Structure 1
Amino acid sequence: MAISKTAALYSDLKEELLNGGYAPGSKLAIDSLATNFEVSPSAVREALSRLTSDWLVQAMPQRGFTVAPVSREDLIDLTAVRIDIEARCVRRAIAVGDLDWEARILATWHCLSKTGASAEGRAHADWPRLHAQFHDDLVSACDSLWWLRLRDQLYVQAERYRRILLPHARQDRDTETEHRQIMELVLERKAEEAAEALGAHLHRTAQDLLDAGLV
């Protein structure tokens, strides 16, 4: 039971951190979190320790745990590295992907485009999940576990910036067309063009967040 509670707490805290529920650089009080989530302080410590591996929390000597900071410099650096890793993964996926891989991309794209075309648009409750799934599917055929692990870590960091800053960023981008272009290039097995389009898509998102002027 303790293990399942810790796992649930880890998941809940991760979502709170990704959504900006705790200010970057702020102290995470173990006793307060234990009370709020109705768990033991030891469960909180274990969950926070796990979150340090995601680089969402920092363990500070003599200070306990604090929320990882954000900055323009970090977002710029993160985006450059992420584009490089995503490009490697998508090129490899195109090289070895099979028909099942193509089918997964098409299925997720269909759901994503229908959701994005709804009245709620990107505010639709399912859009964030489908958006993440679409990007995951694009590279899912990549057979390098280390590239995929690095890619997942970078995705989490980028998602944190996106969720915190997106409400303040410009909303007039045609992301559905960008997604369609990337998908078509991937399915046509145009590796370099697909990697370039994916990189441009990620860079554009980061620039929108930077232009919001909040980091």
Structure 2
Amino acid sequence: MAVENFLQRLPVPPTRAPSARRSHNIYVDLQREIVLGMLAPRSVLLELELASRFEVSQGTVREALLLLQEEGLVHRLPHRGTTVADCRADDAEELIRLRHDIECRGVRRAVARYGVALAEPMRRHLAAMQAAAASGDEYLLSVHDRAFHAELFDCADLPPVQPVLARCLVHAHRFKILHPAQNRDLLETANRHQVIIDALASAEVEQVVAALSHHITTIVDFGPNILGAGA
């Protein structure tokens, strides 16, 4: 399995023209600022101001904003402009429930298809997370964290579901970053994935599901009943 840089796997407009590459770079920059809270929830984004800042046309900025809209990170309304999405606990909790269902179902398929071979690419993602944590780059850590989960789900071969999971991942990371626990350690965040890798190396599907389930439901402390009764 190829291990790609997650930034290169983010949505890209179908054309490879220079303007498309510029809009993708702007999209990545704005995603970073939204995820880290540099662009605050409910703040207004003006195309003209962004075009001036990035020294591009408004059309190029619009392409970047449309990509962010696909992820639910901004809202674009006719005659009302673009607003950074809110970051509410209710939304995060529902997305985590959805993510849990998607990933835990998907990993069963992935283990059935690849077995212990899944562990090695996940180790490389963990190494990238640890390097980002060591450098204090919380956004890059989130990029590699999302890449870990995205590639694991890719192995389930459920392409129509991948964009749904991608949205769940970015919003979960944004909520965690904007509502940090006291003294949260970046290296500890990265190393939480080790138990998933250990389970993958065993190829014991129930062990893998249990490790992944615990990982997802403890990303943010919503209490013991986040999955609801009988989960």
Find out whether 1:63 has 2:96 as its counterpart: no
Matches within 5 A, 1:1-215: 1-97=18-114, 100-109=117-126, 111=127, 115=131, 121=134, 123=136, 127-166=141-180, 168-171=181-184, 174-175=188-189, 178-207=192-221
State the TM-score, normalizing by the size of structure 2.
Answer: 0.75
> Is residue 130–residue 190 contact of structure 2 (8 Å, CA) maintained in 1?
no
Q: 1:134-179, CA deviations, whole angstroms, 9 ceiling, x for partnerless residues?
A: 333433421111233322221122122233333x544269556642
Distance 1:114 1:32 in 2: 36
Change (3 A) 1:124 1:64: closer
Q: Which secondary structure state, in structure 1, belongs to the residue aligned with residue 156 of structure 2?
A: coil
Counterparts of 1:91 and 1:20, CA distance in 2: 35
Local SS of the residue matching 2:75: strand
Contact 1:89 1:147 in 2 (8 A): no
Letter in 1 for 2:94: D
1:77-111 CA-partner distances (Å, limit 9, x unpaired): 111111111111211111111565343234444x2
Cα 1:131–1:38, aligned 2, differ >3 Å: closer, same or farther?
A: same
Q: Matched residue of 1:123: which SS?
A: coil
- 1:127 Cα shift? 4.2
User: Take 1:79 and 1:105, find their aligned partners in 2: how far apart are those partners?
Assistant: 21
Task: Measure the CA separation in 1 of the matches of 2:128 and 2:64.
Answer: 32
Give SS of 1:25's match: coil
**What residue ranges of structure 2 are gaps of 5+ in the alignment?**
1-17, 223-231
Gaps of 5+ in 1: 209-215
CA gap of 1:132–1:169, structure 2 versus 1, over 3 A, is farther
Letter in 1 for 2:31: K
Deviation at 1:114, TM superposition (A): 6.0
RMSD of aligned alpha carbons: 2.9
1:171 counterpart letter in structure 2: R
| CA distance 1:75–1:135, shift in 2 (3 Å) | same
Identity %: 28
Could you tell me whether the CA contact under 8 Å between 1:5 and 1:43 is conserved in 2? Answer: yes
Q: Which moved more, 1:23-32 or 1:142-151?
A: 142-151
Count of matched residue positions in the alignment of Structure 1 and Structure 2: 204
Distance 2:153 2:38 in 1: 30
Give the C-alpha shift of residue 128 in structure 1. Answer: 4.1
